[in-house]
Structure 1
């Protein structure tokens, strides 16, 4: 659990983060969203003390981070950034092993963890372990960056715009992979993004920042249905609200008995994905992996205001 209490950061006497308090429960994803300069990245970096707070407190599982040496604190917290930040002259395996080596893990344990993570990210260890970063695609580099952040089995992972440099197709796959792996490992995750759609897709709770202040902190459905301020409403985009709401529900939850032609959509595909597929393919119904169908009529009904 992360407890942030009255956290403030001043630069030249002006607050960049202004008296922010919030709690992230163990195993949750909290998405920090806001426009450029809203304070979200500064808030994230105060959690692992890359930025020192001017006032306030951060507790991780009840322990005040100010009482922990910064380098020791950062070894306990995974950190992934936009553009992956891999060391260009180290192999994939050496990159992933960075923190375990600092923690003096045995060579056998390090190799086992590297191979475990490569397998988890659907990268064959024998094919990728000894590659250099420049030999990887952008999506593969990003996966290695996240794998490196998870290497020492941290209970907490911080991510700063991790998918911002990826093209839309690779980004969607990376988001789905992250959600699946986070659920599998039970890692608590705090994610900075400027993209409300990404925050809604990934976040169990969304923290909306505006000019250094936390203006709303709630589950995605609550933010979509009851935005706290005009700024939050503008960030959502009034015309996009129905589509955002569709993205909160997996298709299998509304699947009914029936038959539909064509390839099935994944069981965990969202209703928004299903609507896009219906419109793109011209079909009135889609089969769902595992059984059942989702109809265009049902999707339109769900999307209605």
Structure 2
């Protein structure tokens, strides 16, 4: 558990973080969102003491994060930045093994962990372990950056706009990767983003900051249904709220018996993605299939549209 208590950060006479408090539950993703200059990155960097607060405290599992030396704390917390920060003259395997090496792990243990992570991220160790970062695509570099941050098996992973430099298609894949990896590892993730749609997709809870102040901290559905301030409502976008609410809903409750032609929609898709596929293909209904390919029924465009048009809250 991460507890942020009355955090304040001043630079000169300017207050960039103003009395921010919230709790991040273990094994969840907390998205910190806000416009440029809102204080979101500063708040996150106070967790691993890359920025020291002017006042307030950060507790990790009940212990003040100042009880450890800064470098010791940071070795226990994974950190991913937008441009991945890979060492250009080190191989993929050497990049991933950086922190375990600093911690004194045996070479055999490091090699096993590197192979485990490459497999987890869908990068064949035989093909990728010896490559240099400049031989990788942007999406592959992003995966290696996250793998390196997870190498020493940290309980906490901090991510500062990690997907901002990726093109939209690769970004969607990277977001899906993060959700899959977080579920598999149970790591507590704090992700900073300026993109509310990304925050809604990834966050179990979302902290909305503006001018250094915390305006709302709640689950995505709560923020969409009941934005706490006009600024939060503006950040959500009134016209987009019904469509964004769809992304929070599972598809299966809307699946009904029947037959339909065309490309099937996976049962694991959310309602928004299903509606987008149906509208794009011009169909009134589509078959829905399980992970094993078995047909489970159909979903209708009219049902999804009706669900999106339902009043929030």
> TM > 0.5 between the two?
yes
Measure the CA separation in 2 of the matches of 1:265 and 1:71: 47
Measure the CA separation in 2 of the matches of 1:263 and 1:242: 25
Measure the CA separation in 1 of the matches of 2:19 and 2:220: 23
**TM-score (normalised: structure 2):** 0.96
Find the counterpart in structure 2 of residue 139 from structure 1: 139
Displacement of 1:254: 2.4
**Helix, strand or coil at the partner of 2:184:** helix
CA contact (8 A) 1:251 1:288 kept: no
Find the counterpart in structure 2 of residue 117 from structure 1: 117
Deviations for 1:249-293, whole angstroms, at most 9, x for unmatched residues? 232342222222222222221111111101111111122221222
The 5-angstrom pairing of residues 92-171 of structure 1 reads 92-171=92-171
The 5-angstrom pairing of residues 136-215 of structure 1 reads 136-215=136-215
Displacement of 1:298: 1.1
Find the counterpart in structure 2 of residue 293 from structure 1: 298
Measure the CA separation in 2 of the matches of 1:184 and 1:10: 38
Find the counterpart in structure 2 of residue 37 from structure 1: 37
Measure the CA separation in 2 of the matches of 1:189 and 1:15: 26
Measure the CA separation in 1 of the matches of 2:207 and 2:272: 23
Deviations for 1:40-62, whole angstroms, at most 9, x for unmatched residues? 00000010000011000000011
**Helix, strand or coil at the partner of 1:80:** strand
Deviations for 1:4-58, whole angstroms, at most 9, x for unmatched residues? 0001100112210100000000011100000000000000001000001100000
**Helix, strand or coil at the partner of 2:266:** coil
Aligned length: 305
The 5-angstrom pairing of residues 17-36 of structure 1 reads 17-36=17-36
Which blocks of at least 5 consecutive residues in structure 1 are unaligned?
Answer: none
Measure the CA separation in 1 of the matches of 2:143 and 2:80: 10
Measure the CA separation in 1 of the matches of 2:218 and 2:23: 11
**TM-score (normalised: structure 1):** 0.98
More off after superposition, 95-104 vs 286-295: 286-295
Measure the CA separation in 2 of the matches of 1:288 and 1:17: 47
Across the aligned residues of Structure 1 and Structure 2, the Cα RMSD in angstroms comes to: 0.9
Measure the CA separation in 1 of the matches of 2:99 and 2:204: 28
Q: Runs (4+) of structure 1 moved beyond 4 Å? A: none
Deviations for 1:161-215, whole angstroms, at most 9, x for unmatched residues? 0000001111011101100110111110000000000000000000000000000
More off after superposition, 35-44 vs 12-21: 12-21
**Helix, strand or coil at the partner of 2:242:** helix
Measure the CA separation in 2 of the matches of 1:101 and 1:253: 48
Q: Does 1:79 align with 2:98?
A: no
Find the counterpart in structure 2 of residue 302 from structure 1: 307
More off after superposition, 124-133 vs 263-272: 263-272
**Helix, strand or coil at the partner of 1:208:** strand
Measure the CA separation in 1 of the matches of 2:237 and 2:7: 29
Measure the CA separation in 2 of the matches of 1:132 and 1:68: 34
